[in-house]
Chain A
Amino acid sequence: MNWGSAAEFFAMGGYAPYVWGSYAVVALCVIVEPFAVRARRRRALRELQRANVAARGRA
């Protein structure tokens, strides 16, 4: 174990803004990106539904 206490862990030897600033942005990105892809997928499915309805309407 490297850390005597949770406080030490969060302080990162004084480099907290740099270390946690990096990890926070990385975490943000790897969380937001899948959501963005999911939203893109849902948009595509909605478009497909619309196209289907239109095709069936014409058929």
Chain B
Amino acid sequence: MTGGNALAAAFGVLQRDLLLASRRKSDAAAPLLFFVIVASLFPLGLGPEPELLRRIGPGVLWVGALLATMLSVARLFASDYEDGTLEQMALSPEPLAALVYGKLAAHWLVTGLPLIVVAPLLGLQYGLPADTIALLAASLALGTPVLTLVGAIGAALTLGVRGGGMLTALLVLPLYVPALVFGAGAVDSGVAGTGAEAHLSLLGACLVLAAFFAPWAITAALRIALE
């Protein structure tokens, strides 16, 4: 049974990607900086009126996190594809899905987790109260893995295709909408007092569905690109 080997292989890929990210810290930090900058643009563009910022804060921060994740996941497989590592992964006896899980986990740790940690600080900039900030962090904790999983589908489909970044965005953004609606909606309904449980459970359902089915789509797309 390859079960144990598959897990070990996934961890191997995870460690490798973390090591690579640590060697290019500026690349790894870019999505986070993007997130922070985008969050600053809205008060600058719309005016710093506190009431307005409190209302738009959760949504703006969610969209910022979404865009930051999307931009960074678009190139998830690109460097491995270019230097032939991806081909080796596809040919290895370990299931490609396991290796893909490793890469996705690494991406979330490097990109998603920092977003979750920094979002509360930006929430303070928007004058959000503490319980709203907690809800925001919770919804991002559930949502950023979904964004990584679904974004990787777009990344795999557009491997080596011209018009890459914009095309990936066009493919991935419609698929991101449920996570955004439920994630930001959780925070908004928490603020409005109608309770965030419904939205958070739906977001959790998205996560479970994505965790099961996205790797299928990703490995299928990778094999198509490698043919």
Do A and B touch each other in the complex, judged by CB within 8 A? no
